Amino acid sequence: MTTPFQAPASNYLAPFDGSFQIGNFPRRDDASPDKGEARERLDAARERIIDAQRRLFAQDTWSVLLVFQAMDAAGKDSTIRRVLSGVNPAGCKVSSFKKPSTKELGHDFLWRHACALPSRGQIGVFNRSHYEEVLVVRVHPKILGYQKLPFQTDLADIWPQRLESIVEHERHLARNGTAILKFFLNVSREEQRERFLARLETPHKRWKFEPGDVRERAHWDAYQRAYDEAIRETSKPWAPWYAIPADSKPAMRCHVAEIVADALDSLELRYPQTGASDQAVHDELHQALLAEE
Nearer to ligand ATP among residue 31 and residue 103 (C-beta): 103
How many C-beta atoms lie closer than 10 Å to residue 11's C-beta? 14
- Interface pattern 53-72 for ligand ATP (x via CB under 6 A): -------------------x
DSSP codes, 152-182: ---HHHHHHHHHHHHHHHHHHHHHTTEEEEE
Q: Is residue 74 within 8 Å of residue 246, measured between CB atoms?
A: yes
CA proximity to 216, closest of 71, 101, 76, 23:
71
Instruction: State in angstroms the smallest separation of the CB of 17 from ligand ATP.
Output: 28
Please report whether residue 111 would count as binding ligand ATP according to CB under 6 A: no
Number of residues in contact with Mg ion under rule CB under 5 A: 1
Q: Is 104 helix (H, G, I), strand (E, B) or coil?
A: helix
d(CA 139, CA 9) in angstroms, rounded, equals: 31
Residue 133's binding partner among ligand ATP, Mg ion, none (Cβ under 5 to 8 angstroms by kind) is ligand ATP
Instruction: State in angstroms the smallest separation of the CB of 73 from ligand ATP.
Output: 8
CA proximity to 76, closest of 166, 219, 195:
195
Q: Is residue 12 within 8 Å of residue 244, measured between CB atoms?
A: yes
Please report whether residue 100 would count as binding ligand ATP according to CB under 6 A: yes
Write out the binding residues for Mg ion, residues 65-94 only, by CB under 5 A: 72
How many C-beta atoms lie closer than 10 Å to residue 170's C-beta? 20
Instruction: State in angstroms the smallest separation of the CB of 211 from ligand ATP.
Output: 11
Residue 235's binding partner among Mg ion, ligand ATP, none (Cβ under 5 to 8 angstroms by kind) is none
Residue in 9, 30, 31, 98 binding ligand ATP, rule: CB under 6 A:
98
Nearer to ligand ATP among residue 83 and residue 179 (C-beta): 83
The sign of the dihedral angle between the CA atoms of 205, 96, 241, 143 is positive
Write out the binding residues for ligand ATP, residues 117-176 only, by CB under 6 A: 127-128, 132-133, 136-137, 143
| Interhelix angle 155-175/220-234, nearest 10 degrees | 40
Instruction: State in angstroms the smallest separation of the CB of 154 from ligand ATP.
Output: 20
Residues 6+ apart with CB under 8 A from 241: 13, 14, 20, 182, 183, 184, 231, 234, 235
Nearer to Mg ion among residue 13 and residue 136 (C-beta): 136
Residue in 35, 81, 99, 205 binding ligand ATP, rule: CB under 6 A:
99
Residue 193's binding partner among Mg ion, ligand ATP, none (Cβ under 5 to 8 angstroms by kind) is none
Please report whether residue 43 would count as binding ligand ATP according to CB under 6 A: no
Binding region for ligand ATP (CB under 6 A): 72, 77, 97-100, 127-128, 132-133, 136-137, 143, 210
